[in-house]
Amino acid sequence: MLSDLEFERYRKQLNLPEWRKQQQMRLKESKILVVGAGGLGCGALPFLAAAGVGSITILDADVIELSNLARQVLYKTDDVGASKALKSAEALQALNPTITIQGIAENLTPDNARANIAQHDLIIDCTDNFKTRYLINDTCAGLKKPFVYGAIHAWEGQFAVFHPAGPSYRSLFPVEPSPQEIPSCDEVGVLGVLPGIIGLLQAKEAIFYLAGFESPAQKGLMTLDLRDMRLSSFTL
């Protein structure tokens, strides 16, 4: 059930004709795992918490660096040196005290991936490396768990929803590339708004999936070019 406080908190979205108590309850009863609390995570996490996703676990072993703050807007200058997972959980709990937030200062590894993913309804891939991304995909495929993928490179970003009824990330990219094939953000640079936008779109896709709404990203890959704001869809 939704409390009077929750009805007031979510009143604007509950006023949408297509979004009623049933959709809000689906969010409240959902448990999601967000892997990575960097640029993509900082774009996605506040809107997931604000929308009323009932349980959010954040997994990230990194600490906050000064160079993160141009794009990772959940953090403050005084947070430099602190755990991203713990600080992001603290910020989200302050944003929405009615939901459950857990920050875990660990990375997803082959040893803990199955245990972490199995207990959640949806995984959101906000990582910045291929090894973890393929680990998320393979574990989710084995457990028949859906996950929302997002990635950025220079001026471009992409996102998709991979779920048991459709293709997996390996269907799109069968072989894990070497680190030398695709330069990192440290090498090519990134404008801070790009991971924010892609992370926000990941949150939108997660909310749609949990609420039972269809989206083009559930059937293919979406790409965004920040320079001309061209959004393209590629059906898989």
Please tell me the distance from the alpha carbon of residue 141 to that of residue 123, in angstroms, as a whole number: 11
CATH code for the domain of 159: 3.40.50.720
Average pLDDT, the chain: 94
195 belongs to a structural domain:
yes
What tens digit of pLDDT does each residue of 121-136 get? Answer: 999 999 999 999 999 9
Give the other-Cβ count within 10 Å of 6's Cβ: 18
Helix (H, G, I), strand (E, B) or coil at 148: strand
Separation CA 188–CA 156 (nearest Å): 12
Segment 91-108 mean pLDDT? 98
Give pLDDT, residue 189.
Answer: 72
For residue 184, pLDDT beyond 90: no
> What are the pLDDT digits (tens) for 19-61?
999 999 999 999 999 999 999 999 999 999 999 999 999 999 9
| 91 is a domain residue | yes
From the list 91, 95, 54, 74, the residue with the least C-alpha distance to 207 is: 54
**By the 8 A CB rule, do 2 and 25 touch?**
yes
Establish if 6 belongs to a structural domain: no
- Residue 210 CB: number of other CB atoms within 10 A? 23
Neighbours of 196 (CB within 10 A): 20
Residue 183: the pLDDT is 60
Is 10 within the bounds of a domain?
A: no
List the one residue out of 17, 89, 14, 16 whose CA is nearest residue 55. Answer: 89
pLDDT at res. 236: 82
Tell me the C-alpha distance between 109 and 135, whole Å.
Answer: 8
Helices (H) and strands (E) counted in the chain, each on its own, are: 10, 8
Residue 2 counted as domain residue: no
pLDDT band at 99 (very low <50, low <70, confident <90, very high): very high
Q: Which domain holds residue 185?
A: 21-235
What is the pLDDT at residue 62?
98
Predicted confidence band of residue 177 (pLDDT cuts 50, 70, 90):
confident
Report the domain count for the chain: 1
pTM over 0.75: yes
Q: Using 50, 70 and 90 to split pLDDT, how confident is the model at 181?
A: low
Q: What is the spatial distance between Cα 140 and Cα 175, in angstroms, rounded to a whole number?
A: 17
Q: Which pLDDT score is estimated for 180?
A: 59
10 Å CB burial of residue 126 (0-12, 13-18, 19+) is buried
Asked if residue 180 belongs to a domain, the reply is yes
Q: Is residue 139 over pLDDT 70?
A: yes
Q: How far, rounded to the nearest angstrom, does the alpha carbon of residue 55 sit from its chain's CA centroid?
A: 14
CA 113 from centre of chain: 16
Asked if the structure places residue 16 within a domain, the reply is no
Grade residue 190 by pLDDT with cuts at 50, 70 and 90.
confident
The pLDDT of residue 175: 87
Residue with tokens 């495929």: 141
pLDDT confidence of residue 140: 98
CB 58 within 8 A of CB 37: yes
Phi-psi region of 93 (alpha: psi -120 to 50; beta: other; left: phi over 0): alpha
For residue 144, give the 3-state DSSP assignment: coil
Q: Is the dihedral of CA 35, 200, 183, 219 positive or negative?
A: positive
Q: What is the pLDDT of residue 179?
A: 65
The residue whose two tokens read 């959902």 is: 30
3 located within any domain: no
Per residue in 220-232, pLDDT tens?
999 999 999 999 9
